[in-house]
Amino acid sequence: MKGRPFRARMGFALAGIRAGWAREASFRSQARLAAMALLALLLLRPAPVWWALVAVCCAIVLALELVNSAMEAVIDLLHPGVHPSIKAAKDMLAGAVLVMSAAALAVAVAMVAASGPHFLEEIGL
């Protein structure tokens, strides 16, 4: 299975994103929030650094969500039963997504605070 051509590996990665979308409601919710962030960027048109910051935050949250789902799937396959260590592992994975989501929210608030006044001025308010 190793050493496949780049095109095939890209296909696997896209299939992974499609699987995350199809199987995980939380991935779909985070993807919708990322789309709203893009809309806010298009409306507010802040400095380029904000585009980069928001893009990196959205990408990390979505990537963590995929890692979370992948780990959960493997854990459930390897050990279908209930176990306190599995609870700890799954809760830590969820915690990782929460930590990054909080950071992304902070960046979004800072971006709106920084570029909101300029936007209101532009539209005459």
Ligand X SMILES: Nc1ncnc2c1ncn2[C@@H]1O[C@H](COP(=O)(O)OP(=O)(O)OP(=O)(O)O)[C@@H](O)[C@H]1O
Angle between helices 25-44 and 48-78 (to 10 degrees): 180
Contact between 23 and ligand X by CB under 6 A: the answer reads no
User: Is 12:66 a contact under the CB 8 Å cutoff?
Assistant: no
Supply the DSSP symbol for 3.
S
Show the site string, 83-102: x = touches ligand X by CB under 6 A, - = not: x--xx--xx--x--------
Q: Which range in 4-12, 30-38, 80-88, 96-104 contacts ligand X by CB under 6 A?
A: 80-88
In whole angstroms, how close is the CB of 111 to ligand X at the nearest point?
Answer: 28
Does the active-site annotation cover 122? no
Sign of the torsion angle spanned by Cα atoms 53, 54, 59, 60: positive
Contact between 112 and ligand X by CB under 6 A: the answer reads no
